Amino acid sequence: MPTLIHEVDTPYRKATFGMGCFWASDALFGATPGVLRTRVGYSGGTSLDPVYRNLGDHTEVIEIDYDPKVVSFEDLLELFWNNHEYGLTARIKKQYTSLILYHDEDQKRIAEIALKKEIYKRKEELVTEVIPAGIFYPAEDYHQKYRLQQHSWLCEALGLTPELLQTSHVAARLNGYLVGVGAEENLAKDVVTLGLSEKIAEYVKRHYEQNKGGSLYC
């Protein structure tokens, strides 16, 4: 069997966004070229040790490790603006607030400029907040790569432990492809580069074809 590419030893930067339910954004970004790893969790607040049933003042967010030589922060922001489930133009509960959590001053500058441009382009007020990235609390195991985890035999075949659900490159990719996200030509390349067996590759391709163009949302 080919060696699965769980680990990617590439210099990376982090991006963290709140876009509504984090299952959808986990799939969306996972299938984006240049994204190395994704994990979902809670951030943006001050309460300690949030859990799904008691978030306190935190928000559902996705944390992304990305290769800036392949995908830019601006590219990721384009996906951010255009793929909210809700909360971009109307204030809803804190759990689903639209957030850009910046990791350095460069990200802050880019995000603030992008927010102004997006408001001008849409001709409507956006409620997105741009705030410093604080502590990230990983969500419970069953939230990580939620779409992928619906295929239990595949997770077993991939050898996905709870830790790998947050760190595996192949898990991030397949979590998107299985629900029809990403470009078909990228899937064709990744079938080889990710080290997928023929059985897994055919299974993923079949689900990609069945689901592409459908809704990501919860």
Residues taking part in catalysis: 21
> How far, in Å, CA of 25 to CA of 38, rounded?
9
Measure CA 139 to chain center.
Answer: 13
Do strands 129-132 and 99-102 pair parallel, antiparallel, or not at all (unpaired)?
parallel
**Torsion over CA of 190, 192, 195 and 198, rounded to 10 degrees?**
110
Alpha-carbon distances of 131 from 18, 115, 134, 160, rounded to whole Å: 11, 12, 9, 33
Q: Beta-carbon neighbour count of residue 86 at 10 Å?
A: 14
> How far, in Å, CA of 108 to CA of 103, rounded?
8
With contact defined as beta carbons under 8 Å apart, do 43 and 204 qualify? no
